[in-house]
Structure 1
Amino acid sequence: MSASSQSAKSKKDESFLGRLGGTLVRRKKATEVSDLHEEGKNAINAPMLPSGKDVHPEDTLLEENAERIMLDPTSRDDPKFKDLLKVLIDWINSELEEDRIIVKDLEEDCYDGQVLQKLFEKLSGRKLNVAEVTQSEIGQKQKLQTVLEAVNELLRPHGWSIEWSVDSIHCKNLVAIVHLLVSLAMHFQAAIRLPEHVSVRVVVVKKREGILQTALVNKELTSTTEMMMGRFERDAFDTLLDHAPDKLNVVKTSLITFVNKHLNKLNLEVTELESQFADGVYLILLMGLLEDYFVPLYNFFLTPENFDQKVHNVAFAFELMQDGGLKKPKARPEDVVNLNLKSTLRVLYNLFTNYKNSE
């Protein structure tokens, strides 16, 4: 960075420091979850090509007419699939934080039924009659059987397709595990935004007359947000944008008036909701004003230069909201950064509802 650029940035920071009025203090959650890590899988669980000679010898132990499904290698490395895994892992860790459970890998952490049991109990408010700790394979499968029976009894009447089984989960079938978690997240209206249009290719191995047959099949894990949200009650913004677009400007005007009432204290002004909150800076400053504290400039990017820095800012603003006692926003930081109007409106309206009487 040139000396002139550094000088300009320094002056900009100083001007903000002048507006913010000095030293900064903030209550921060001491919660840290490790990033998703990839572990090596043995041949029986690893993806493989649809060729008989590439099938692992252990697959010949399949019973007649039985089948095994495994993830294709190209799908395992797909960015959208990885994004879905991260969203699900972060969601589970958020839900089970009080139980001090940290999930790092869905295959390794969900196969024995312990995490799935705790997650279902937390979401449903129903206690399952299962052993707390089960080390043996028989005990693990018995626990899985109880958990999945409860899940299936809950989901099946609502039209959910059951794409999992005790054996597939216990065999660490990642596609089956993801299907199950996505269905639970949508059914319980999890405060997350699942990535749209995530599909994977799987290798299906079947045994017919003693001969192994393989084929590649596409599996859809998520569709559009609108279709996924359509399985449960749509919120006011779905109705507003779909059936009363003429009233949209009225809502936007009300929200702009609300945010400017507070941002004006820093000589800042919003005219476009869609774009001016997309980098997260105004959201962070707004939360500090609403909660009456100053946010340290080193905690966020004052002038974010790329997508990741903007996502960091919005995610940090969401943490501030939760620190203030608000529920986790039903939006992904990526949606706000990508100028998704409904996501931005949901976040701002939640602030308006909780702070509309704040001075």
Structure 2
Amino acid sequence: MSNPMGSQDALARHDPLDRTDHVTTYQLHPSSKSDANVKKLLQGLTTWVNSYVILDSMTVRDVVVDLDDGQLLASFLSQITGDPIVDPQTLAARSDRSKMVILQLVVKYIETNLKIKQDPGRWTAEGIMAKDHGSALCLLVDLARVLGCPYTLPPNVSIAVIKREELPSGVKTKTTVYKITGDEERLGNDAELVLSPREDGAAVSYEPDAFDKLFSQPEKIREVTLLLLEFLNAQLETLNIRLNCLSKVEGIYLILLIGTLGNIFVPLHHYALTPSTLAAKIDNARFALGMMADLDIDVSRINATVGD
């Protein structure tokens, strides 16, 4: 998914149907590129997306570049929600037409299931495909508000994007300012915007832990993921349970894992051993979090409803 040449500020899109060879590029204004809050926003969003797409062996290097074909967005949304967004065969396709189909399916899911509508003042599918910084970042922040991004995102971030069009009559440029994050999420006079995955929607401020730092180094995530999966399977093998992906770790497996590690017997009437509905899975996850809280484990950053 990532651009082998690395991050680029100016990216061109050629429309094969445009006989005038109309070329449009989007570039982050130098003042925005050097803004510390913009850099922090990019880092937080990149880390968040990477923590999920790594499960599909993908890595984000530039969230603006890598969102354009819909594949990364489809993987991210599928992992974080548990919903199949795109048929795997379609996801593996690489033609321009298939990329457009994938992005259309992703946008339809976002609008229908997450109730986030396209807004020309924030993001559009066309803007995502054209690698417009404003569209890409506005969409990710909107997703963060709905899905619960656990990473610190600074408030009141605006960016200036330069749109450059090469026309037969000459070059036309236009600068547009996008308000990416607002001040309504501010936690206090000096607080930073923290979009936490708490079920009550309240934001929680916290210091980055070892895993936050880990997710800022994508090259190490896969190794740690495999180690965690190996540990999980080693504990559950006595119950004839084996998982091949951390994204499949539902509440029931957490309950069994906690019981195994703590040598705790959990009465069957407290949870659903074979949950068949989303509600049952969420109840299991909440019960598992309750067990963890009873063991003095901090669960304030975990949402029972995200990922089930």
What is the TM-score of this pair, normalised by structure 2?
0.53
CA contact (8 A) 1:187 1:232 kept: no
Q: Cα offset for 1:122?
A: 1.8
Q: Cα offset for 1:84?
A: 1.0
Secondary structure of the 1:216 match is strand
CA contact (8 A) 2:7 2:65 kept: no
Q: Which one of 74, 81, 99 corresponds to residue 38 of structure 2?
A: 81
Q: Cα offset for 1:61?
A: 4.8
Alignment of 1:172-183 (within 5 A): 172-183=131-142
Instruction: Report how many residues are paired.
Output: 209
Q: Deviations along 1:172-208, whole A, 9 cap, x unmatched?
A: 2222111111111111112222122211012356899
1:201 maps to a residue whose letter is A
Alignment of 1:191-202 (within 5 A): 191-202=150-161
Question: Which residue number corresponds to residue 295 of structure 2?
Answer: 355
- Partners in 1 of 2:124 and 2:94 — Cα distance? 20
Question: Which residue number corresponds to residue 283 of structure 1?
Answer: none
Q: Deviations along 1:34-83, whole A, 9 cap, x unmatched?
A: 9xx963455747xxxxxxxxxxxx9x7559xxx87543232123221111
CA contact (8 A) 1:69 1:173 kept: yes
* 1:93 has 2:50 as partner: yes
Q: Cα offset for 1:318?
A: 6.2
CA contact (8 A) 1:198 1:223 kept: yes
2:56 maps to a residue whose letter is D
Q: Which runs of 5+ in 2 are unaligned?
A: 187-192, 215-224, 233-289, 298-308
CA contact (8 A) 2:162 2:176 kept: yes
Residues 83 and 62 (structure 1), Cα distance of their counterparts in 2 relative to 1, 3 Å cut: same
Q: Which one of 178, 201, 205 corresponds to residue 219 of structure 1?
A: 178
1:355 maps to a residue whose letter is L
- Partners in 2 of 1:165 and 1:102 — Cα distance? 23
Q: Which one of 152, 163, 166 corresponds to residue 125 of structure 2?
A: 166
Residues 148 and 104 (structure 1), Cα distance of their counterparts in 2 relative to 1, 3 Å cut: same
What is the TM-score of this pair, normalised by structure 1?
0.46
Question: Which residue number corresponds to residue 148 of structure 2?
Answer: 189
Alignment of 1:131-146 (within 5 A): 131-146=90-105
Residues 319 and 73 (structure 1), Cα distance of their counterparts in 2 relative to 1, 3 Å cut: closer
Secondary structure of the 2:99 match is helix
Secondary structure of the 1:96 match is helix
1:75 maps to a residue whose letter is S
Structure 1 or 2, whichever has the larger Rg, is 1
* 1:128 has 2:96 as partner: no
Question: Which residue number corresponds to residue 315 of structure 1?
Answer: 209
Give the percent of matched residue pairs that are identical in Structure 1 and Structure 2: 22
- Partners in 1 of 2:196 and 2:149 — Cα distance? 13
Residues 230 and 102 (structure 1), Cα distance of their counterparts in 2 relative to 1, 3 Å cut: closer
- Partners in 2 of 1:226 and 1:148 — Cα distance? 25
2:59 maps to a residue whose letter is I
More helix by percentage: 1
Q: Which runs of 5+ in 1 are unaligned?
A: 1-33, 46-57, 242-273, 279-310, 326-349
Residues 138 and 232 (structure 1), Cα distance of their counterparts in 2 relative to 1, 3 Å cut: same
CA contact (8 A) 1:196 1:222 kept: yes
CA contact (8 A) 1:197 1:220 kept: yes
